[in-house]
A and B are shown apart, each in its own frame.
Chain A
Amino acid sequence: MSILTSSDRVVGAASVGRTKRLRPSYWPFVVPALIVVIGVIVFPWVFTLWMSAMEWRIGEEQRFVGLQNYARLFTDVRFLEAMLHTLVYTALSVLAPLVLGTAAALAFNTKLPARGLLRGIFVMPMMATPVAIALVWTMMFHPQLGVLNYLLSLVGIGPLQWVYHPSTVILSLVLVETWQWTPLVMLIVLGGLAALPTEPYESAQIDGATAWQRFRYLTLPMIKPFLMVAVIIRSIDALKSFDILYTITQGGPGTASETINLYLYSVAFTYYDIGYGSAIAVVFFVLIIMLSLILLYLRQRSAWNTGDGQ
């Protein structure tokens, strides 16, 4: 963003604040949406918080129990395991798409033939209906009839049990998540690459830098803010991941792939333990917000380092 436009913004900002009588007020434009947001977004937050302090099962009397639901979390082995699964799943589901997505972005940033169409195909996995693709993945994971084991057999590996064995289930699910969400990372990084200046590269080329050196010392530092954005978004989405996990494994085998989100679903809508479920929701929510804040803070710092406010 140029200095010019940013100062223009400042100018406008102050003028709107000060010209209440002459300028129209913009509140009426916002009010309908505000009502909707309060109704379907803010109200659920507040209500969840309240319910989390109650003993509340569907069809039974409610009663106030304070922080008891939260205390229960610490001794709930299934919850703690779910927490662990979530963290592992999230870490891998951020890392893999980040690496692959950056590589893909570098490829897409060159003069590919039919770039638009290729990009359209490339982003299809993330736009496709998750349940639909999860069904197909389930078939592909099938140990006997699945195409994946057949492909592996061609290179002499396998057969694997994929989502049907506790030791491979999370990795298999990460594979699906990666397949699905690498395009988003690619798009974000591609946006960053498009904004890069060309002079440093020309001068580096004259200085005799290799392609890898150019990537390592020029591209990578300059796209760092965009990588951070990708990490933030990927983290949030991986933490919240539900459709794929629920459709393919429902947390199984056993509870080997049960994440917090899936456990929350079971507690609230299988056992109808609304109070406890709400407590899990609150903790989950806090976890996501905290992670986001940490990442935002890191991004701020990386933005400082590269000297722009992206």
Chain B
Amino acid sequence: MASVSIRNVRKSYGTVEIIKGVSIDIQDGEFVILVGPSGCGKSTLLRMIAGLEEISGGTVAIDDRVVNDVPPKDRDIAMVFQNYALYPHMTIADNMSFALRLKNTAKSEITAKVERAAGILGLGPLLGRFPRQLSGGQRQRVAMGRAIVRDPKVFLFDEPLSNLDAKLRVQMRTEIKEMHQRLKTTTVYVTHDQIEAMTMADKIVVMHDGIIEQIGAPLDLYDNPANMFVAGFIGSPAMNFIPGSIGGDGFTTEGGDRLPLGGRVPAASDGRPAVYGVRPEHFRLADDGMAAEVVVVEPTGSETQMVLRPLGAKAGREDRKRELTWVLRERTGAKPGEVVRIAPDPALAHLFNPDTGLRL
């Protein structure tokens, strides 16, 4: 059990800066997920916490002890790797007990700990087998078991589910979450999958190009994204961004449609260009809404997803690229080619500065 404090951490390879000053505070027992697109530096940051990568600047502290120069084996952490990194020449039991054996732990204690972890993960019958005799999901569990047995201060996960098929991934997501609720070990978890982040995290850290875009609870990020990157990254299907400008008490799209702002007009912003952000599920049918042609209808059963092309009040200003996504709970008889009129819910919409991407 421990807190982790990352202060202004930097990492460069040669002259290329990969992590550009990152600070995160992780409380004791918290489940923190680093999420962001591939190559944004998540793994690098995690590996710096683990001690597998030298820290170029700033400090990493575990339980208030700066560990920059502490080798991995003395940090009291456990890590689950993307490809599991199971020792192929050891049985499952030996894989799980390797760290304990290195520390010359008593035999009886090792057996007890391995059995406990195997019990938690349902690995009991597999203990005598070798990794190559296990399925992907079982290997994944062994990798976790190896971490649990250590009873470390911090768990580190690097995209542990990305090698599993979709169904297994959902199942393992639940298992990891349950495991955390049971053990309450501080966890740092890396993924590029925002759904994984949303469903599992206590706290999400959204990274992009080596910086932190926003830190917050899952729903907080969903409801109050700090900028267009987070707004677009969190949520699926992604938020619609409609460029235009603020005018009067509303918003005028480039196509000339008027969108409501619900009285939340930022001060002194008349005529100012902005981006109107609205999630796909926050549109509704409205007689006075913007007219849009239905392009594609994709029913999934529980909901219907539609791609719409705004027709635009000003003729000739229609723009193919400005297609909108609309998700509605109800079933609909709408067919491609039909025209619908829709309006966003102004209370749930956001305005962004088109230059900085920040929310207004």
A3 interfacial by beta-carbon distance below 8 Å: no
Within 8 A of A (CB), among B42-78: 51-54, 69, 71-72
Stretch touching chain B among A12-20, A29-37, A77-85, A97-105: A12-20
CB within 8 Å for A14 and B51 given contacts A21-B69, A22-B71:
no
- Which residues of B lie under 8 Å from residue A21 when comparing CB positions? 54, 69
- A22 touching B54, Cβ below 8 Å: yes
B-contacting residues, A145-191, CB 8 Å: none
CB contacts (< 8 Å) of B69 on chain A: these are 21-22
Q: Does B14 contact A (CB under 8 A)?
A: yes
Known: A22-B69, A22-B72. A14 touches B13 (CB 8 A): yes
B83 to chain A, nearest CB (A): 11
Residues of A within 8 A of B13 (CB): 14, 18
Closest B residue by C-beta to A19: B54
- Other than A18-B54, A21-B54, A22-B69, give 9 A-B pairs with Cβ distance below 8 A: A14-B14, A19-B53, A20-B54, A21-B69, A22-B51, A22-B52, A22-B54, A22-B72, A24-B71
Q: Interface on chain B toward A: helix, strand, loop, or mixed SS? A: loop
Enumerate 13 A-B pairs (CB-CB under 8 Å) in ascending A order: A14-B13, A14-B14, A15-B53, A18-B13, A18-B54, A19-B52, A19-B53, A19-B54, A20-B54, A21-B54, A21-B69, A22-B51, A22-B72
Question: What is the chain B residue whose CB lies nearest that of A15?
Answer: B53
Task: Give the interface size bracket for B toward A.
Answer: under 10
Contacts of A23 in B (CB 8 A): 52, 71
Residues of B within 8 A of A19 (CB): 52-54
Report the nearest B residue to A20, measured CB to CB: B54
A9 to B54 alpha-carbon distance, docked (Å)? 17
B321 to chain A, nearest CB (A): 31
Q: A24: which B residues are within 8 A, CB to CB?
A: 71
What residues on B are CB-neighbors of A15 within 8 Å? 52-54
Chain B: minimal CB distance from A12 (Å) = 11
Contacts of B53 in A (CB 8 A): 15, 19, 22
Distance between Cα atoms of A23 and B70 in the complex (Å): 10
Shortest CB–CB separation between residue A7 and chain B, in angstroms?
A: 11
Name the interface residues of A94-141: CB closer than 8 Å to any CB of B: none
Chain B residues, CB < 8 A from A20: 54
Q: Which residue of the partner chain B has the closest CB to A13?
A: B13
CA distance A43 to B41 in the complex (A): 48
> Which residue in chain A gives the minimum CB-CB distance to B67?
A22
Q: In the complex, what residues of B have CB within 8 A of residue A14's CB?
A: 13-14
- Taken residue by residue from 1 to 42, chain B's Cβ proximity to chain A (1 for < 8 Å, 0 otherwise) reads as 000000000000110000000000000000000000000000
Q: B169-192 interface mask toward A, CB cutoff 8 Å, 1 = contact, 0 = none?
A: 000000000000000000000000
CB distance from B19 to the nearest CB of A (A): 13
B17 to chain A, nearest CB (A): 13
B81 to chain A, nearest CB (A): 13
- B residues less than 8 Å from A18 (CB atoms): 13, 54
Chain A residues contacting B52 (CB-CB under 8 Å) are: 15, 19, 22-23
Q: Which residues of chain A have C-beta atoms less than 8 A from B71's C-beta?
A: 22-24
User: Which chain A residue lies CB-closest to B69?
Assistant: A21
A18 to chain B, nearest CB (A): 5
Min CB distance B227 to A, Å, is 29
Q: Once the chains are docked, how many angstroms separate the CA of A24 from the CA of B51?
A: 12
